[in-house]
């Protein structure tokens, strides 16, 4: 076999290895492929696509896991149960009904209407919005509803939690800097995905498994659903 043929075989082998699916049971994430090039740079989507997150070039990447404030769990976002306790504005409206002179039957109907309005508004958002993750780095849909439907099992574990992060950001549980800002929520979940991608590529899947999602409490948000009859 000639040197040229040997080099071609070697190159094909490397490309094939880099394009195989990464399935790490401990991390619960599937990343579509390792880039075929050997250009290494800082932590970014373009850097990931050009191949900058290898253990051989660990000194050149700058991926870090964002510190997440206390947020609501994926289970909350999937069912929206307990929505009254999560949104200050909704709770205030229900308390106003409680202290009104309405008949009890009317109070009950009004409070249910407010709660269902919030839940329906959130459900519609979840159904129609995707997280905007780099499609070259994932193998499943990043639609919020699809991610939450995985129940966190198997390969859907990462997207399941990222969906909750996105929603916590957009709906104000991470502060006013994220509230109502889809672009900021998208950037946050992308940063987390890039961190996971780099850690797995550098042989540290355990650090992805150990991510602190900080979703065990019951924080409240000042987000206001403005459409009628929620308002």
> Nearest-5° angle of CA 118, CA 178, CA 231?
25
31 phi, psi to nearest 5 deg: -115, 135
SS3 63: coil
pLDDT in tens, 172-188: 999 999 999 999 999 99
Name the average pLDDT for the chain: 80
Tens digits of residue pLDDT in 43-93: 776 666 555 555 544 455 568 899 999 999 999 999 999 999 999 999 999
Structure confidence at residue 62 (pLDDT)? 63
Residue 3's pLDDT is what? 53
pLDDT, tens only, 88-109: 999 999 999 999 999 999 999 9
Strand, helix or coil for residue 221: strand
The Cα–Cα gap between 136 and 157 comes to: 18
Q: How far apart are CA 27 and CA 218, in angstroms?
A: 25
3-class secondary structure, 97: helix
**Of residues 78 and 156, which shows the higher confidence score?**
78
């Amino acid at each position: 076999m000639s040197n040229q043929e040997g080099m071609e075989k070697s190159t094909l082998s490397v490309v094939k290895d880099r394009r195989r699916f990464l399935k790490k049971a401990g991390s619960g994430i599937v990343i579509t492929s390792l880039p075929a090039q050997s250009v290494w740079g800082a932590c970014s989507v373009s850097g990931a696509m050009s191949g900058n997150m290898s253990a051989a070039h660990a000194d050149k990447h700058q991926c870090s896991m964002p510190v997440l404030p206390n947020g609501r769990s994926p289970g909350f976002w999937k069912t929206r149960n307990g929505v009254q306790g999560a949104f200050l504005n909704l709770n205030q409206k229900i308390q106003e009904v409680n202290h009104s002179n309405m008949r009890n039957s009317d109070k009950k109907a009004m409070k249910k209407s407010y709660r269902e309005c919030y839940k329906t508004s959130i459900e519609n958002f979840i159904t129609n919005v995707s997280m905007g993750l780099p499609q070259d780095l994932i193998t499943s849909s990043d639609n919020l509803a699809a991610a939450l439907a995985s129940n966190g099992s198997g390969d859907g574990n990462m997207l399941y939690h990222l969906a909750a992060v996105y929603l916590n950001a957009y709906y104000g549980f991470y502060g006013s800097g994220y509230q109502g800002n889809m672009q900021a929520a998208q950037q946050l979940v992308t940063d987390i995905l890039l961190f996971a991608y780099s850690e797995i590529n550098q042989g540290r899947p355990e650090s992805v498994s150990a991510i602190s999602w900080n979703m065990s409490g019951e924080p409240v948000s000042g987000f206001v659903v403005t459409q009628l009859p929620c308002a």
